[in-house]
Structure 1
């Protein structure tokens, strides 16, 4: 049985009810961990004391309060996203928590005297966290989303996905009507059309005593009532927080497997098997489920406590069961995730098709009953021209119904605030604008169908991207298994040494576990790289660092580079180390060329989207902080005196890579300097993606290249990659 990796819509409905107990708490600090997938909000509550809220939006998607002993250690330097949250939310009150419709989206509303902020956690698809201001505009987000159907990007108004059907608020007639629209069986209809998902679709069938695979068209009225009662009962439990939170365990095969319940029974006390082990955690639910009656379970006082226990032990349970430990990446879970996303995207496409067809059908009905609709609209328009109130017009139609007038009988209702009339035409309700004629109303319906089909096209493009991700995951699994088999064959044939007794080259990309070896160097505060000849090049990240480089680290024998364009780092090609005596060194042309490339690449030339610019080189004694008479030097600026050596039309060139020996770290700079030293590299050029967006894209790509993707999380987080990217927009070069 697969372990749960994501919260369901039912889970969130239960969870939000529990989390509202923390409304009124003040936010102390926000933390974002290295992989940009785990957000921690530290709050202080008057009754509860310290409250730690974790929101994870990676392969695992969750949001819940955790025990203090389960809080991960604070990360190092906070990234920009975390600093932004601290600036906006420090001391703010948590004033509201809500689920968007019946979707896997949670909104956390904060208020402070100077601002209002909403943190939106999207726990579906690729996952995302967006921070909104009081006007609903995106201040920042972990992932930029630009689709035909919606946009989530800094500066843009936040757009929710299309609202999903909410089965927890529907009445009996609406529930049955929704079911009868489906030509699938009952359980699949509950799972997809009513958005319960597979587990709760099966649970509702079990509670109602209805067969899973029974066709909806074969379902009786009594069975519809039983199903609705089951849904209504679940809705009441969630609404009133009448929960029975559980963590469910599955025993290993030797302990009885999934069918081991016969030997062990369902035990909410000790939960131990015959060997004293409780088994592997497979799910945490807000209520006891009949579908899990064969599994061991442990009860918890709150659902958030059950989730904390489940996810805190998730990786350990997965590793012990061989389903995603450190030795082997959990390809099956990744493949299952993409297959699940594809199913959801296909369901969305089907929904868009149904909605578009429904709008077109309404337009055609207007034309099919043209005379009747035209008469109704004409009557309303004439009355409004004479300033007859909407209430009186509605009363006139009600009187007409009593007299059996067809036009009046077709009017279901009027909405004066919107200026619309809802008609019943051949058992289909159509809402039209009362100020327009039949043709214009039909045209609006056709336009709406076209707009919905545009969403369908966006969803089709997204599903193709997900299919590519799925194929990539399968290919990586196949490569890993082939490499593992080859390694096993090699171990059987020899001891890993070649004929001369020397160790073979290490396949770092295929290794299941790569040891992390890092030592901090003095120059890593700056922009830096080592040339292909081994010389250190350092550049300032800002005016303060430019000043520091010239005053503290510039020695005789070094070379100073600067782009001719305004706005760029002071770049120093070091001839000696910081503790070495100055000496004459013959710097190779290749190192000079790479330093010039570095200087132009991290200047405003890149930021302006250009691919080349001029760079000059001078000696240290030509650099002065003393301006010419009558002139003024800004902070970080210097006067250059004497002749300059120019590198004309120097092309920009930056690659980012990961080294595995002798140190494990991110490196970046001119391609000729980086490629030979890194195990794998990605070249970038001026492009459309902001620094943080392209850093995340490179991070995800690097994760696909290493069998040990946890290694990438440790040494090459998006923040660390971003340190080596030029200012401005970039894109990767295929």
Structure 2
């Protein structure tokens, strides 16, 4: 894993602010947790029975998460105080402050107004202020020449030189910087930072090392373009190098086009995946503990080896007492040592002789007997082992402390309400829903089909009910897409290798649970009254493709072909669909490198799309 920290820009924070406003407005603060060793807070919100968790890392990032993140079980006094202040406050709005890397969450309850401020700038903090900007809580006390962060003081935003390109009416106002280098002007004088500087230069074809001169209007125009994309057409991305994520952005960065990319619906999702892969870096105190642990473990390894060698030598001495005693006597008398023993060194000043026996070197005291030398070696080994016992206690304490990096726990999947059904999105953006079994068929018709809603059903026993959600007058194209689902997901027909089925559609008002006299309607079955509108000979053929952004699209040829360059079609067959799904994804990804987890995810999506248990896949030719 790379140790590089993510670098979010003011454009990224603009995307985040708009997303968070949409997803948190009207929610209530349920609780807040922290992990001080890794410097992050987890804010828990509830909205209409749904729990949403916001990760806030002062000085770094803020995003909604679907993972479980480790937090301390015993809150600190400051966290306890924050909990009392913030619980049961309602989110009124989420906004970006002055196009800076600062998120302001406006909160209220009855007559109480407050703001939760999350600063993403270097040395940023999390602050809760009252309606008159008095600091009620700060994650870190601070006193600089520009501001004082302490409870009871008035809050002041950190000093910033960032320029909002939307407010620039005359690029000539920057004339004094004409002699500045382009990179320094954009990153420093305009306050955009190196990430946006690289993107502006890339889009405008500017040399970062050249002088600004007459390029000011171009720079401002490209900056405005980036802001407009962030506001009107954000395209959150995660960028990978060698399979590991290296950065994220709220809009597509041309300057990062050489990196492998993955698209996301929201910036939060991109950041969530980044931190799931890269983890959270420990704060300095924990880093020092981690380094100390590493040193202790290496020292312990050396000492264990030394103690083992001493005991081995001592046992060898005891097993060969006569031989080693002869060696010591020969050294003192000036005679040659016995065969099998080599004298390496005689140090008469220290009264030590070093001898080699069976490729092991022994340091023996000349004035001690061989038995005494062995005894002293045993004693030295015991001293080392006693020291090891003390060292092990310290190692255990450090191991129980936080590691240098921590990863979130399992992902908590928050299913959308429609994910209980089989679902797809039509070419027009409408949600098409199909029952998966008798229970979901019953639920679909009773809860999600109105009097004037459209319901489709294949003319085949056991077929699912299908509807186009909240669309009373669908286009012919939408009807055909829904009919395709009705036919293909009639499992008995698919496994029976039918080539096509007739599908009919009716209004919701034509369905009832009133069975004819003497008959019983099982769960998931409905009586159809009145005229049926038939769509004849609907082929059991599903097209599946992948977009440049890595999204799986399925349905009719027209829809898939419009969004994907690579695609195939699936029909009933004899091959195992699990193996075929894996082969299909590998084929669609040829020439592209994605992390293994992402490949596995795509395989599971395709597996779930293919009806029944068996299939046959045909890969599209360029003529399609």
TM, length-normalised to structure 1: 0.40
- Which one has the bigger strand percentage? 2
TM, length-normalised to structure 2: 0.47
Say which one has the larger Rg: 2
